[in-house]
Amino acid sequence: MKVNQNMAEQKRDKIFSRGFKFNIEDRVLLLSVVLIVLVIFFGVTKERFLTVNTIRSMAFQCPEIGLMGLGMAIAMIVNGINLSINDTANLSALVAGLSLIELAPLFVGYEFLLVIIAFLIAIGMGIACGALNGLLIGHIGVPPILATLASLTLYRGISVAVTGGKTLTGFPEELSVIGYQTVLGVPIPFIIFLVVGVLMYVVLEHTTFGFKVRMLGTNPTAAKFSGIDNKSITMKVYILSGILGAIAGIIVMSRTNSVAYEYGTRAYILQALLISVLGGISPGFGSIIGVLLATFTLQVISTGFNMLLLGVRGSSFFKDFSWGIIFIVILIIDHLMHRRRGIG
């Protein structure tokens, strides 16, 4: 048993060394170059692209999908997926919105405190949603894609039942502070996104929990025989994913000053997957830096195409079509490069 464990550890170290070289060094470099090229291209073709207003607009828009991308990434690192992350965001925002409305008479003159309480309630809802996914996947053994597809349907159904399919509005003005305000010219949502990204990087790269997460994603059997509680780690990962979804829901709620069950249901899941795959995330491997760069890259592509195709008939169809093409191309490139390195 001791010999087998040593062999497993040597194999793990070998895989990690090859995987990190590709996912962290090469992928980050590639994304950095692509991002620079895209910025130069759109900056040359559209004069308005590199203006302060456009850059600030992108900084307001990308955090919500970036946070969902981080939530998707952490699930994919343990060889899972979280298809329910967008509906977790919407349901968390809905619970927060209902709290704002119901508790408003008790906090007259203290609306800012009420907003903070509502946000904490939203985080609590995100934890609950993540815990359900963790229970289904880690403890019961339901395949991640089926478990999160089922919870997606559940969370969306609850949102529809509570709201009757209508948009919830009428929140205090203090709610818009996060969605519209800036600090030294930098949008608050973007600051939140960067802070969360840094924390995620520290957790995954410099903590025992991060090592266990990567070990579980690389080889669950080896992780189990190494003394890692796979069920507990899976539960914590999906709870963390749920929290990230809830934070994204808070930002969307603050930016739109409303809540609806259908926000992001057409595109956010695909974009979160795109961000994770483009960022180099795979079971056991991947860099948070890559996910951040992938978020910025997709936002630049989205904004750039919107400017180029402004007024063109069928432009929305072309954008959806381009997301699908990008996703397929990335999957093919990833598969070929992993085969070439002998780790796929």
Q: What is the pLDDT along the chain (344 residues), one digit of tens a residue?
A: 444 455 445 544 544 444 444 444 577 888 898 899 989 999 998 888 989 999 999 999 999 999 999 999 999 999 999 999 999 999 999 999 999 988 888 888 888 898 899 999 999 999 999 999 999 999 999 999 999 999 999 999 999 999 898 899 888 888 888 888 899 989 999 999 999 999 999 999 999 999 999 999 999 999 999 999 999 999 999 999 999 999 999 999 999 889 999 898 878 998 999 899 889 898 998 889 999 999 999 999 888 888 877 766 655 666 667 667 776 777 777 677 667 655 44
Residue 303 placed within a domain: no
What pLDDT was estimated at residue 110? 84
Start-to-end CA distance of the chain, whole Å, equals 27
Q: How far apart, in whole angstroms, are the C-alpha atoms of residue 340 and residue 320? A: 31
Nearest to 276 by CA among 290, 263, 266: 290
Residue 204 placed within a domain: yes
Q: How many CA atoms lie within 13 A of 155 on its CB side?
A: 35
What pLDDT was estimated at residue 18? 43
DSSP state of 342: T
Residue 55 placed within a domain: no
What pLDDT was estimated at residue 311? 60
- Chain-centre distance for alpha carbon 33: 22
What pLDDT was estimated at residue 58? 93
Rounded to 5 degrees, φ, ψ at 314 are: 80, 15
- Chain-centre distance for alpha carbon 257: 21
Question: Which domain range does residue 218 map to?
Answer: 64-267
Q: Is the alpha carbon torsion for 209, 211, 216, 222 positive or negative? A: negative
- Amino acid found at 109: G
Q: How far apart, in whole angstroms, are the C-alpha atoms of residue 187 and residue 52? A: 12
What pLDDT was estimated at residue 46? 85
Dihedral, 273, 277, 280, 283 alpha carbons, nearest 10: 80
Number of domains in the chain: 1
What pLDDT was estimated at residue 8? 47
Residue 248 placed within a domain: yes
Residue 26 placed within a domain: no
Residue 301 placed within a domain: no
Q: How far apart, in whole angstroms, are the C-alpha atoms of residue 331 and residue 328? A: 5
Prediction pTM value = 0.87
Residue 244 placed within a domain: yes
- Looking at the DSSP bridge assignments, the partners of residue 186 are 183
Residue 4 placed within a domain: no
